[in-house]
């Protein structure tokens, strides 16, 4: 008999002697039965398919374990399975169960079908209403520009927005926000579908035609539930500021009257008169054009020039002064004016001038509060934080739908470490103004500061889908915490501050590992930024990788990527200069910090 045959017979006899064959056959039979049963139960209960894959892998892993147990079991001549062997099998099943449970949790997080017990899975989005809209509800669509040159859309939009603002002040009437309604400017969707999307029962639409010294404005009110026209009228007037404001009042009053006729006494008897912003029609037209640019955060230099001209025509134009004051506060982020304390002081003076003319100008009140907030970030303001927050809240009492005030209030809350309040304010801002990218960006930072990365990722996704995800240094610093390497690399190579920088991958890796030693990379990046004369905000990236010489002036210091900075003496000095420790002792420390004795603190 050949040697290899004798070896095979010897091995076969040993396997039978140790009962390996019997154990293997029995195990395979039981495994097949279990797997078949799992497929049947999983199909009826709609278990994720991945569970079955994991269970199959577990059974395969069990084969060598069973073979090992069988070999030693047969070697000792045992007829029964020992307690140790039972424990090994139980351990195998426990490990498998843990794997299945972990996979189940991971899959639910991935597809968004489960929620976390610690608010991690809360999503921030504005859902399309499913219930019937309230009867006393309306959306004002952008009015169509019918001018011969088709160059008066800003004017048409401005008229529609003024009417919307009047209707928004009527008790008992729900009015869709401007940005929500104005997204249907060029949509081919019918009125009923638009109303369903906006969650309203009625829609006001119209058109504007300017010709020389005359203006024609038409408007019609539609009940979207029946597609019935409740009211329509055309206004032909001389193009004067007085006539424009009168037309706006008449349209709002006629709309309210038509709604009251249909709904009864659920609404106030009349709409409040539109404020007379200016008596100069030329100044008003410039204001409307500038306001459209300001709201879109686009061409702010042009907007500033338009407002300057409007104020020259009418020096008491409070609304124009207020918007110009706002541009002085944050225009540097959009390439307009240097971001300095002197620039902000000039803007604050404009806001205070607006308030001397109109003490109820909500935007001017919010601008003053924002200006003091920025000064605190530089450590040069003595304005009490309590007064700053009171001013923001006063502005929102005057205009609850002021998305700028909501955004800036959220920014101030982030700075002082009141993350939950920041999320509340910024979520409201997103609901009101879906196009204001700053609200979404600040909301991402607030959520990351709370450790709610899933919700922060949802905000980023929604911003990208709505095409309002801006390329900023702050967003770059946040993306590593969100584990979005591809997005980081794509944005980094297109960021003006990093154009020509060849180590964006290394920068992502460094930002992903806060607290480690990245001084060599920081020195290279600092030299690059100095050479290219990048904006001061660019140094935020240096703060995140260990260079703390220039403290950041944006509200990223609470996100995970800034952990190393929060532990540094420079961060403590920055917070001390801003006056925050005294505020914290009165109102509570952020979750990342704790008091040490009576006059010190420590942050992680």
Query: Which CATH number does the domain housing residue 204 bear?
Result: 3.40.50.10070
More confident residue, 11 or 438: 438
Q: Give the pLDDT mean for 465-492.
A: 86
Distance from C-alpha of 335 to C-alpha of 330, rounded to nearest angstrom: 9
74 and 189 part of one domain:
no
In-domain check, residue 332: no
272 and 171 part of one domain:
yes
**Residue that finishes a domain, picked among 276, 293, 311:** 276
167 and 268 part of one domain:
yes
In-domain check, residue 329: no
Distance from C-alpha of 580 to C-alpha of 455, rounded to nearest angstrom: 28
Distance from C-alpha of 31 to C-alpha of 23, rounded to nearest angstrom: 12
256 and 199 part of one domain:
yes
Confidence of residue 15 (pLDDT cuts 50, 70, 90): low
**503: pLDDT strictly greater than 70:** yes
Helical packing angle, 569-578 and 580-587, nearest 10°: 80
First to last CA, the chain: 76
Distance from C-alpha of 481 to C-alpha of 141, rounded to nearest angstrom: 39
**555: pLDDT strictly greater than 80:** no
Distance from C-alpha of 298 to C-alpha of 4, rounded to nearest angstrom: 84
In this predicted model, what pLDDT tens digit does every residue of 336-345 receive, in sequence order? Answer: 555 678 888 9
**Dihedral sign computed on CA atoms, order 446, 451, 453, 454:** negative
In-domain check, residue 433: yes
> 596: which strand partners?
600
Across 74-88, 351-365, 398-412, least confident range: 74-88
Alpha-carbon distances of 98 from 34, 54, 55, 93, 95, rounded to whole Å? 18, 11, 11, 9, 5
Helix or strand run (H / E) with residue 139: strand 137-140
Distance from C-alpha of 505 to C-alpha of 381, rounded to nearest angstrom: 39
Residue 250 and residue 235 in contact, taking contact as beta carbons nearer than 8 Å: yes
457 and 509 part of one domain:
no
In-domain check, residue 311: no
Alpha-carbon distances of 132 from 135, 168, 562, rounded to whole Å? 9, 20, 46
83 and 198 part of one domain:
no
444 and 481 part of one domain:
no
Across 139-148, 267-276, 575-584, least confident range: 267-276
Long-range CB pairs of 103-106 (<8 Å, 24+ gap) are 103/50, 103/51, 103/54, 104/48, 104/51
**51: pLDDT strictly greater than 80:** no
Q: Give the pLDDT mean for 267-289.
A: 78
409 and 532 part of one domain:
no
433 and 537 part of one domain:
no
Please identify which residue in the block is written with the tokens 């801006």: 470
456 and 504 part of one domain:
no
Residue 553 and residue 381 in contact, taking contact as beta carbons nearer than 8 Å: no
In-domain check, residue 74: yes
In this predicted model, what pLDDT tens digit does every residue of 223-236 receive, in sequence order? Answer: 998 888 888 989 88
**283: pLDDT strictly greater than 80:** yes
What token pair was written down for 226?
């029946």
The number of folded domains in the chain is: 4
What token pair was written down for 309?
């001209």
Residue 559 and residue 600 in contact, taking contact as beta carbons nearer than 8 Å: no
Long-range CB pairs of 197-200 (<8 Å, 24+ gap) are 197/128, 198/139, 199/128, 199/129, 199/133, 199/137, 200/133, 200/137, 200/138, 200/139, 200/174, 200/176, 200/224
Nearest alpha carbon to residue 321 among 368, 282, 274: 368
User: Within a 10 A sphere around the Cβ of 542, how many other Cβ atoms?
Assistant: 21
Mean residue pLDDT of the chain comes to 80
In-domain check, residue 336: no
> 175: which strand partners?
138
Q: Give the pLDDT mean for 251-278.
A: 73
In this predicted model, what pLDDT tens digit does every residue of 180-239 receive, in sequence order? Answer: 888 887 656 788 888 988 889 999 999 999 888 888 999 999 999 888 888 898 988 888
Please state the three-class secondary structure of 275-296 as a single string.
Answer: CCCCCCHHHHHHHHHHHHHHHH
Please state the three-class secondary structure of 70-97 as a single string.
Answer: HHHHHHCCCCCCCHHHHHHHHHHHHHHH
Nearest alpha carbon to residue 440 among 112, 198, 124: 124
560 and 435 part of one domain:
no
**37: pLDDT strictly greater than 80:** no
- What residues have CB less than 8 Å from 70, skipping those under 6 apart? 18, 19, 20, 22, 23, 24
Among 121-135, 227-241, 311-325, 475-489, top mean pLDDT goes to: 311-325
Alpha-carbon distances of 274 from 161, 246, 286, rounded to whole Å? 11, 8, 18
Distance from C-alpha of 528 to C-alpha of 474, rounded to nearest angstrom: 18
155 and 238 part of one domain:
yes
- Give the strand pairing for 228-238 and 214-223: antiparallel
Confidence of residue 571 (pLDDT cuts 50, 70, 90): very high
In-domain check, residue 357: no
Q: Give the pLDDT mean for 518-535.
A: 84
What token pair was written down for 198?
């906006």
Per-residue pLDDT, 332? 65
Find the domain containing 59 and state its range: 3-111
In-domain check, residue 405: yes
Per-residue pLDDT, 493? 82
3-state secondary structure of 480: helix
**443: pLDDT strictly greater than 90:** yes
């Amino acid at each position: 008999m050949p040697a290899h045959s004798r070896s095979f017979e010897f091995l076969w006899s040993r396997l039978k002697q140790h009962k390996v064959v019997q154990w293997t056959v029995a195990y395979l039979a039981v495994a097949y039965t279990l797997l078949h049963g799992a497929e049947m139960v999983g199909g009826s209960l709609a278990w994720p398919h991945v569970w079955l894959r994991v269970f199959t892998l577990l059974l395969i892993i069990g084969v060598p374990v069973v073979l090992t147990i069988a070999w030693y079991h047969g070697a000792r001549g045992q007829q029964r399975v020992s307690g140790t062997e039972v424990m090994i099998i139980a351990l195998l099943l426990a490990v498998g169960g843990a794997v299945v449970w972990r996979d189940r949790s991971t899959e639910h997080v991935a597809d968004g079908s489960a929620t976390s017990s610690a608010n991690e899975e809360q999503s921030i989005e504005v859902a399309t209403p499913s219930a019937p809209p309230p009867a006393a509800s309306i959306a004002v669509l952008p009015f169509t520009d019918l001018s011969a040159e088709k160059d008066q859309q800003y004017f048409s939009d401005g008229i529609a927005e003024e009417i919307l603002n009047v209707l928004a002040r009527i008790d008992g009437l729900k009015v869709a926000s401007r940005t929500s309604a104005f997204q249907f400017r060029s949509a081919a969707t019918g009125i009923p579908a638009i109303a369903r999307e906006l969650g309203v029962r009625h829609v006001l639409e119209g058109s504007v035609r300017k010709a020389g010294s005359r203006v024609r404005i038409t408007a019609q009110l539609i009940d979207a539930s029946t597609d019935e026209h409740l009211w329509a009228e055309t206004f032909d007037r001389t193009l004067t500021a007085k006539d424009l404001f009168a037309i706006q009042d008449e349209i709002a009053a006629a709309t309210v009257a038509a709604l009251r006729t249909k709904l009864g006494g659920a609404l106030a008897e009349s709409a409040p008169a539109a404020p007379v912003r200016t008596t100069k029609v030329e100044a008003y037209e410039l204001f409307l054009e500038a306001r459209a640019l300001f709201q879109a955060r686009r061409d702010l230099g042009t907007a500033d020039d338009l407002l300057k001209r409007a104020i020259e025509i009418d020096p008491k134009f409070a609304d124009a002064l207020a918007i110009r004051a706002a541009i002085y506060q944050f225009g540097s982020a959009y390439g307009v004016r240097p971001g300095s304390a002197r620039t902000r002081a000039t803007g604050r003076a404009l806001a205070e001038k607006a308030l001397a003319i109109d003490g109820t100008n909500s935007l001017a009140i919010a601008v003053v509060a924002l200006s003091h907030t920025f000064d605190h970030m530089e450590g040069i303001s003595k304005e009490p934080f309590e007064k700053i927050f009171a001013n923001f809240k006063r502005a929102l009492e005057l205009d609850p739908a002021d998305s700028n005030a909501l955004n800036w209030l959220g920014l101030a809350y982030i700075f002082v470490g009141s993350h939950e309040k920041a999320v509340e304010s910024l979520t409201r801002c997103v609901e009101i103004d879906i196009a204001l990218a700053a609200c979404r960006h600040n909301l991402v930072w607030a959520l990351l500061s709370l450790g709610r990365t899933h919700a922060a990722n949802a905000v980023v996704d929604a911003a990208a889908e709505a095409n309002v995800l801006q390329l900023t240094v702050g967003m770059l610093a946040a993306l590593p915490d969100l584990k979005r390497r591809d997005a980081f690399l794509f944005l980094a190579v297109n960021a003006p501050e990093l154009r020509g920088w060849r180590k964006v991958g290394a920068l992502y890796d460094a930002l992903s590992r806060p607290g480690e030693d990245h001084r060599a990379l920081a020195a290279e990046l600092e030299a690059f930024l100095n050479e290219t004369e990048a904006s001061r905000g660019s140094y935020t990236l240096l703060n995140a990788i260990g260079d703390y010489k220039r403290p950041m002036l944006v509200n990223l210091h609470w996100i995970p990527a800034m952990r190393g900075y929060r532990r540094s003496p420079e961060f403590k000095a920055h917070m001390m200069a801003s006056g925050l420790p005294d505020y914290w002792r009165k109102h509570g420390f952020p979750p990342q910090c704790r008091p040490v004795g009576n006059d010190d603190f420590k942050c992680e």
